[in-house]
């Protein structure tokens, strides 16, 4: 048995959503424009200690108050 995806039901239930098709380029452009319009959220604190920090990016280690690991640059 193989799973096959069909959109027949979705097209019947949501005809307006399928009324205009976009090319990949148009869809990516629309997505990029949407993302650029969104505000940048404030950073949040890490909810728990980092357990494995050997490849932690230096900026993350600094934000967490730990010295940057040299393993990241290896």
Q: Per-residue pLDDT tens for 10-64?
A: 999 999 988 888 899 999 999 999 999 999 999 887 777 777 878 888 888 888 7
Model's pTM, two decimal places?
0.44
Sorted by where each begins, the domain ranges of the chain are: 8-39+50-73
| Banded model confidence at residue 74, pLDDT cuts 50, 70, 90 | very low
Q: Return the ∠ at Cα 30 (arms to 21 and 7), rounded to 5°.
A: 35
DSSP of 7-69, one letter per residue?
Answer: -HHHHHH-GGGGSS---HHHHHHHHHHHHHHSPPPPP---SS--S--TT--HHHHHHTTPPPP
- Would you give the DSSP letter of residue 54? T
């Amino acid at each position: 048995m193989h799973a096959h995806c069909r959109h027949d039901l979705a097209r019947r239930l949501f005809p307006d959503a399928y009324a205009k098709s976009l090319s990949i380029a148009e869809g990516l452009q629309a997505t990029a424009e949407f993302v650029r319009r969104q505000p940048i959220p404030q950073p949040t604190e890490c909810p728990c200690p980092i357990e494995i920090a050997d490849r932690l990016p230096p900026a993350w280690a600094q934000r967490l108050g730990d010295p940057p690991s040299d393993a990241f640059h290896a």
